[in-house]
Structure 1
Amino acid sequence: MATALSYKNPPSLTKEKSYQQWKNEVKMWQLVTELDIKKRGLALALSLQGKPREVALEITPEDLNVDEGVDKLIIELDKLFEKDKTDQAYAAYTAFDKYHRESSIKMCDYIIEFEQKYNKCKKYDMPLPDAILAFKLLDNAGLGESDRHLALTACSDLKFETMKAALNRIFASKSQSDNDIVTVKEESAFVGEHRFDRGRSSRRFGARNRMNRSFDQRNTQSKLNPTINGSISRCRCCDSKYHWFRDCPHNLTLIM
């Protein structure tokens, strides 16, 4: 039976996550870890690197080795890394406002990321009217004029959920069409290649037959191969009844 995770190691503060995200991870970690509550502040301090670790080392071990050790450490880190609420709101707004879909990003992935960034804005009381949100989703999707017009035509109303469904539906079908085109091209190339191979084989076979006929016509006036057991003997190389293997034009030993 598998052993349950103990979650003794605290979450790391890395460049890939924001300070606020790390703080949320620390809260989750405290809810699931089996580490003694008095040791958590020390463990969290020792997990830090760079400037956060310098801040942690300014706190005495005695101050961290208590039930409130994690809270004391977070208070000191907040002084350096916690952004003002206004700064946090502006950062969330900027990330949302400047987000545009690149041509390499799938439409479904773009919509998911768009919603995630907008949800962060809503945490700071910055909701948008539904119609404006729908238009922003469309404008930032990186579409050409024809696709943009198609999306607007597909919407029965000016709501975000309607626009989202229209974009997903349109680009799911376009993706399928592109796959079908690729498949047809591959099949056409496959057929063309095999036609070329068959034509090349036919030309080789035809040339060989012409060679046989030419050689055999020269021997038509001569007598046929001898009869063996009631059947005319034939060349074991090309099956001709006018010559034997030693005289066959396809005998490689003769060519060499």
Structure 2
Amino acid sequence: MGSAYKAPPPFSDSKPYSRWIDEIKAWQCLTDLDESKQALAVALTFDEHDPSGIRDKVFSDLPLDTLKSDDGMKELIQYMDKLFKKDQLSEAYEVYTEFDRFRRQPDLKMETFGIRKTLQSHKKIQDGIAKFCT
């Protein structure tokens, strides 16, 4: 039996762009979809109502022949990088401000808050600030 089609991960401003790229690369490893169709499949998953207008931008700025070529994914990712990829300094600052704004909810015990704050700080340092320093 053939395998079922697995849709590409959705693009959303609710997750970091770098995370979406990692998910797309993982999807490329798992999908049975021909290379010449992958960029089209990804572009068609972009929400028409996304505030960034990414679907319209992709289909306006990248020729259909480019999207349906074997290098379509490479071209699509390069285009997306120009729009959404952050430099290391911006990414490190964003990580820091997110950590700094983390506050205890009124119904959260202080002990639980302390544990979460510590875990979050370790994760953020590993995910963001460490990238900037290396």
Please tell me the TM-score bracket, short chain as reference.
0.7 to 0.9
Between 1:16-25 and 1:88-97, the stretch displaced more is 16-25
Query: Aligned residue for 2:130?
Result: 125
Separation in 2, partners of 1:31, 1:102 = 40
Equivalent AA in structure 1 for residue 27 of structure 2:
W
- Residues 144-185 of structure 1: CA deviation (Å, up to 9, x unaligned): xxxxxxxxxxxxxxxxxxxxxxxxxxxxxxxxxxxxxxxxxx
Alignment of structure 1 residues 142-181 onto 2, 5 Å: none
Equivalent AA in structure 2 for residue 66 of structure 1:
S
* 1:52 pairs with one of 41, 54, 60: 54
* 1:27 pairs with one of 25, 28, 44: 25
Query: Aligned residue for 2:73?
Result: 70
Separation in 2, partners of 1:54, 1:110 = 44
- Which consecutive aligned stretches of 4+ in structure 1 deviate over 6 angstroms post-superposition? none
Between 1:114-123 and 1:45-54, the stretch displaced more is 114-123
- Asked whether the equivalents of residues 104 and 113 of structure 2 are also in contact (C-alpha less than 8 Å), the reply is no
- Asked whether the equivalents of residues 41 and 64 of structure 1 are also in contact (C-alpha less than 8 Å), the reply is yes
Equivalent AA in structure 2 for residue 73 of structure 1:
L
Give the percent of matched residue pairs that are identical in Structure 1 and Structure 2.
Answer: 33
Gaps of 5+ in 1: 127-256
Larger radius of gyration: 1
Aligned pair count? Answer: 123
- Asked whether the equivalents of residues 6 and 34 of structure 1 are also in contact (C-alpha less than 8 Å), the reply is yes
Alignment of structure 1 residues 78-227 onto 2, 5 Å: 78-105=81-108, 107-108=111-112, 111-112=115-116, 114-123=118-127, 124-125=129-130
Gaps of 5+ in 2: none
Q: Which has the higher contact order (CA 8 A, sep 6+)?
A: 2
Q: Post-superposition shift, 1:121?
A: 2.3
Separation in 2, partners of 1:110, 1:12 = 33
State TM-score, norm by structure 1.
0.43
Separation in 2, partners of 1:113, 1:35 = 42
SS of equivalent residue, structure 1 residue 125: helix
Equivalent AA in structure 2 for residue 30 of structure 1:
Q
- Asked whether the equivalents of residues 96 and 118 of structure 1 are also in contact (C-alpha less than 8 Å), the reply is no
* 1:39 pairs with one of 37, 40, 46: 37
Root mean square deviation of aligned Cα: 2.5
